[in-house]
Chain A
Amino acid sequence: MRFAIPLAVFVLLVILLGVGLTLDPREVPSPLIGKPAPAFSLPEVAAADRTLSLDRLKGQVFLLNVWASWCVSCRQEHPVLVDFAKRGIVPIYGLNYKDTRDDALAWLKRFGDPYRASAFDEDGKMGIDWGVYGVPETFLVDQHGVIRYKHTGPVTPEDLENKILPLIRELQGAA
């Protein structure tokens, strides 16, 4: 019997490695999920004299999308967001991460602007508070200002339909 122990351990190891192949080791789950969104108060991209703050956004389900004009994969997800914004299901707000105002505005002009407003996070402090580590990232926040979901990397139409939309419906239904 004891001669079968190595084989048994190895079978478990192979199962583990097989499961491992389906996982993405780079993705870091956010500890903020289920927690109140970190407060912020930053000037808007479109107008330096207007302030976008968490208090202003509370009371509704919304998406917060982290973007930057220097981010290549943001370009990939941008049409998805533009289309989604047109459907008017939830408002999308932007977090313009470590960018310059001119570049950001030019970028929005060129590719379209799905955002109600974008916070201008020049030094990336708000990004750090929200645990941003790779642009683009998308947060789903509920009526009470609690972060419900985080998507790292470009959002695809499938992600939107299969994961994010059902969650939005659930949150909106609960209200």
Chain B
Amino acid sequence: MKRLILCLWGLLAVPAADAMEVRQFDDPAKQERYETLIKDVRCLVCQNQSLAESDAELAKDLRTEVYNIIQSGKSSEEAVQFLTDRYGDFVLYRPPFKSITLLLWLGPFLLLAGGAVFLWKQARRRAEPSGKEEALSADERRRLQQLKDRFQG
């Protein structure tokens, strides 16, 4: 949310939401692909904005390139290839899945698996009787169960 401020404070006097050139497509599907794509590409000038949002000159030029590629009937992948050939993976907000991003993509699930193991071990340890619980008489145990039943329905 503060990315525009930062852009404003630090680097360039870039106004908000000015990146608004109107583009004509011969096919609504192309327009949708174009709009989805430029939202997932990072602008290199005002680096806190996507290509869709940035008002920088370069962003406009790159949008034109992407527009031409999509409008000429080529795939989104070809447009992405065009951008990464020139600017590298940096422009992709969705990092490609490869060896150096392996931990990035799998990390959350490894963490979750680690958490699950921790939970399981903890639960097993805690489920063992500690031997310190006061023994309940049969009558007490029955009354306890009644209360529980009532609560849980």
Q: Which residues of A contact B (CB under 8 A)?
A: 25-26, 28-32, 98, 123-125, 128-134
Query: In the complex the two chains form, what is the Cα distance from A171 to B56 in whole Å?
Result: 36
B65 touches A128 (CB 8 A): yes
Partner of B44, one of A28, A123, A129, A130: A28
CB-nearest residue of chain A to B11? A26
Contact A131 B47, CB 8 Å, known A98-B57, A124-B61: no
Residues of chain B from 74 to 127 with CB closer than 8 A to chain A in the complex: 84-88, 90
> Can you report 17 A-B residue pairs in the complex whose CB atoms are below 8 A from each other?
A29-B88, A29-B90, A30-B88, A31-B84, A31-B85, A31-B86, A31-B87, A32-B86, A124-B61, A128-B61, A128-B86, A129-B86, A130-B86, A131-B87, A131-B88, A133-B87, A134-B45
A26 touches B47 (CB 8 A): yes
How close is B53's CB to chain A, nearest CB, in angstroms? 16
If over half of A's interface residues share one DSSP class (helix, strand or loop), that class is named, otherwise mixed; here it is loop
Does B69 count as interface, using CB distance less than 8 angstroms? no
Query: In the complex the two chains form, what is the Cα distance from A29 to B87 in whole Å?
Result: 8
Residues of chain B from 18 to 68 with CB closer than 8 A to chain A in the complex: 44-45, 47, 57-58, 61-62, 65
CB-nearest residue of chain B to A70? B57
Partner of A28, one of B57, B61, B85, B88: B88
**Chain B positions within 8 Å of A134 at CB level:** 44-45
CB-nearest residue of chain A to B45? A133
**Chain B positions within 8 Å of A129 at CB level:** 86
Given contacts A28-B44, A32-B86, A124-B57, 8 further A-B contacts (CB under 8 A): A31-B85, A125-B61, A128-B62, A128-B86, A129-B86, A133-B58, A133-B87, A134-B45
